[in-house]
Amino acid sequence: MVLALAVSCNRTKPEGRPVINLVREVIADAGSPEHMLVADYDAADPVKSIYVAGAPERCKPILMSLKECDSYDNADGRAVGDGLPDFAGEVICTILDFANTPYSKYLGREEDLKEVTVRTVLAAMDTLCYINEFDRNGMATKPQAKVVVLASPYASAYGQFDVDSLFRTLGCNLPVVYPLRSMLDEVLAGRNTGAVVGVVAEKDSLTAGSYASYVAENGAAGSDCVVLSPDPEAADPLLAFLDSCLVAGKTRPFDAILVDDTSVDAEAMRLTLKRITTATNEESLSYGKLIAPGCRILDVLSTVNDECYRLLRKENLFRLDIAYPRSIEYKTVATSDGSVVLTQYDDGDPLK
């Protein structure tokens, strides 16, 4: 069923249809395995797992952050650490998409990228995977998802509408987290005026134009977006970002800066922000004019932690086991016949 994650490059988008062919076909064919999987799916089961899917270099830091974070009191949900991991007892699964990344290769073939996104979510929902890519008859049982985190900003920009449309039409209650969208929602929600959003993006990420279009489509009129891929040698990524804005003649102050790069130290950027917005600090003369009152720095790791915790607590989906979080890893593999399959991943110890 969803194990064959092949992208069909000869699909054409039906005229006047806002969703891709794959979604339209799954909705229309009530007897197909995909239709039955989505229509009958029940995510409201604490025994199911948290899934993180996307590029390996993006999933790994999110996985570690989920396993280690302690931002909430596990008993009453207060925003204060209690010495116990927030996701104690949970099983966190990753789908490391080696076969389809880097996603930038799909630019110009957005239809295919949307299909990859939909099939990745279906794979997280299914109960089966291959034991390895060489034994197409050997099957293994895998956990199902109670929440899916689509780590890549490409999923937010190019796959969210199709996944949401499929789930809404067939009544599926599986929550899907799109970190970029979650950060933007927090910044743009309730604003009647346009927001100026800065984005610190990794090199193999959305183009500056794609980020700008996404902000413009989801924000009030007049919203603007400035994107920077940080210099890994920069001593301070926030100052490097603001310096580049000054050089480019950017004068509108930022309402928020989104750190859409898991390798950047967002907490260090927050400390810098606090320092340069202090009136008595000399740096405020140079950089203060680029920072709007109340400007915040949001990052992928904190956003995913908070969103997953909120969803599990709201729906009462925590396992409530007295144990450290565990992880199980899967990977996508391109096969010789052109298909992509989901297999177990043996990177040292797959059960960590």
CATH number for the domain harbouring residue 118: 3.40.50
Residue 304 inside a domain? The answer is no
Q: Are 68 and 33 in contact (CB under 8 A)?
A: no
Query: What does the pLDDT profile of the chain (352 residues) look like in tens digits?
Result: 544 444 443 433 344 458 999 999 999 999 999 999 999 999 999 999 999 999 999 999 999 999 999 999 988 999 999 999 999 999 999 999 999 999 999 988 999 999 999 999 999 999 999 887 777 778 889 999 999 999 999 998 899 999 999 999 999 999 999 999 999 989 887 787 888 999 999 877 888 888 888 888 877 778 889 888 767 778 888 998 899 888 888 888 999 999 999 999 999 999 999 999 887 878 888 888 899 999 999 999 999 999 999 999 999 999 988 899 999 999 999 887 778 999 999 754 433 3
Whether 171 and 320 share a structural domain: yes
State how many domains the chain has: 2
Q: What is the pLDDT of residue 107?
A: 87
Residue range(s) defining the domain that contains residue 250? 182-299
Whether 83 and 64 share a structural domain: yes
Whether 50 and 134 share a structural domain: yes
Whether 122 and 233 share a structural domain: no
Residue 37 inside a domain? The answer is yes
Whether 287 and 195 share a structural domain: yes
Residue 6 inside a domain? The answer is no
83 exposed, middle or buried (CB, 10 Å; 0-12, 13-18, 19+)?
exposed
Whether 105 and 138 share a structural domain: yes
Distance between CA atoms of 234 and 261, rounded to whole angstroms? Answer: 15
Residue 62 inside a domain? The answer is yes
Whether 47 and 157 share a structural domain: yes
Q: What is the pLDDT of residue 347?
A: 59
Distance between CA atoms of 265 and 275, rounded to whole angstroms? Answer: 16
Contacts of 233 (CB under 8 A, 6+ apart): none
Residue 195 inside a domain? The answer is yes
Q: What is the pLDDT of residue 237?
A: 87
Whether 164 and 211 share a structural domain: no
Residue 1 inside a domain? The answer is no
Residue 229 inside a domain? The answer is yes
**In whole angstroms, what separates CA 35 from the centre of its chain?**
24
Residue 14 inside a domain? The answer is no
